[in-house]
Amino acid sequence: MQTREINNNQKLRLQPLAMPQRLLLGPGPSNAHPEILQAMNTPPVGHLDPAFLGLMDEIQSLLRYVWQTENPLTIAVSGTGTAAMEATIANSVEPGDVVLVGVAGYFGNRLVDMAGRYGADVRTISKPWGKTFTLEDLRTALETHRPAILALVHAETSTGARQPLEGVSELCQEFDCLLLVDTVTSLGGVPIFLDEWGVDLAYSCSQKGLGCPPGASPFTMSHRAMQKLQQRPTKVENWYLDISLLSKYWGSERVYHHTAPINLYYALREALRLLAQEGLENCWQRHQKNAEYLWKSLENLGLSLHVEREFRLPTLTTVCIPDGVDGKAIARKLLDEYNIEIGGGLGELAGKVWRIGLMGYNSRPESVDQLITALRDVLPI
């Protein structure tokens, strides 16, 4: 058989890779620390090599520190944050379970969709996008729906709002349900105390507060959640994300499950090491300080912020697009002329806000200064 010739467009793709240098100030990914990028260039070993298995142990220990938990089942899922999100749902939800989801943004709705696909009887409690739930709101919903699982988004990436979690686990224990929490945009940049807050299931990603490339995503389960998994009458429907199988790879048995993304795990380990070296509280304080500098700088430009100050995330800020301003055009100009990426709104906030991330390595005053200088040039003010 004769091979086909490469067409002209394909020939162009045979050039060595050349990508622009961007300052990533959108909702994620964020720029990675140079030491993390250097770690990714380390030659891979086998995914069952003793040295790599030791690295997996280090990842688990460091994740427990960053999440402030003692959960033995704390691992990194080989996939993006959405894979860890689905792993949480797949392993905790059984067909017919009543799952109550707090919806105050795009990712609350994603939890609703996922839980429904695994056969849950999904109920919702809703707030306007950018608002949060009170303990009274949650108590009323738990009394009404009596769920097996309450799912809340700690850091709603679509709105920039932080859901308070203090006191929620006491309600969950009173109504005998598990507490499932999305920490995708909070892990590493926002105070989290999983054990103190009584969280049973949590997931996150690597490319935001941890400042690491995407693809190795934190996941954890409490003893209560593990008991529910072990008592299932049927297998978890998603083979790849079945924690009863993955735990044998991450645990002492070291049973082959899949070929791990080795170099991404190198990167995650370095990201967690850098965070631990800085100190968790110092990292939280850095994110808060730089976010407050950003908020003040934006307000000095005459811009207003979408979320009340008390509930704003230090990792992600939603900025109201002024009347008469083409938000997409401004974002594109920042990208094309200044190599700065910011995000647009999702769902109900599409066309109404910009989303500005200050996460991980990017949470620095220089990032704010560079953005504000560019905004002064491109905004019609």
| Domains, in order of start, for the chain | 10-30+279-378 (3.90.1150.10), 34-276 (3.40.640.10)
Dist CA 302 CA 344 (whole Å)? 19
What is the H or E stretch that residue 246 is in?
A: helix 243-250
**Mean pLDDT, residues 205-225:** 97
Complete edge-to-edge strand list for the sheet that includes strand 316-320: 316-320, 353-357, 343-344
Cβ count within 10 A of residue 369: 13
Cβ count within 10 A of residue 59: 23
Beta strands in 222-342 (DSSP E): 316-320, 340-341
**Mean pLDDT, residues 259-284:** 98
Beta-bridged to residue 173, according to DSSP, are none
What's the Cα-to-Cα distance from 343 to each of 78, 307, 313, 334, rounded to whole Å?
26, 16, 15, 11
**Mean pLDDT, residues 4-11:** 65
pLDDT digits (tens, 9 = 90+) for 137-156: 999 999 999 999 999 999 99
Answer yes or no: are the C-beta atoms of 222 and 72 closer than 8 Å: no
Cβ neighbourhood burial of 136 (10 Å; 0-12, 13-18, 19+):
exposed
Residue 9: band (very low, low, confident or very high) from pLDDT cuts 50, 70, 90: low
Residue 5: band (very low, low, confident or very high) from pLDDT cuts 50, 70, 90: confident
What's the Cα-to-Cα distance from 353 to each of 48, 61, 115, 131, rounded to whole Å?
46, 38, 28, 15
Residue 352 has pLDDT above 60, yes or no: yes
Beta-bridged to residue 305, according to DSSP, are 319
**Mean pLDDT, residues 323-347:** 97
Residue 1 has pLDDT above 80, yes or no: no
Dist CA 281 CA 263 (whole Å)? 28
Q: Is the bond into 29 cis (omega within 30 degrees of 0)? A: yes
**Mean pLDDT, residues 49-63:** 97
Cβ neighbourhood burial of 309 (10 Å; 0-12, 13-18, 19+):
exposed
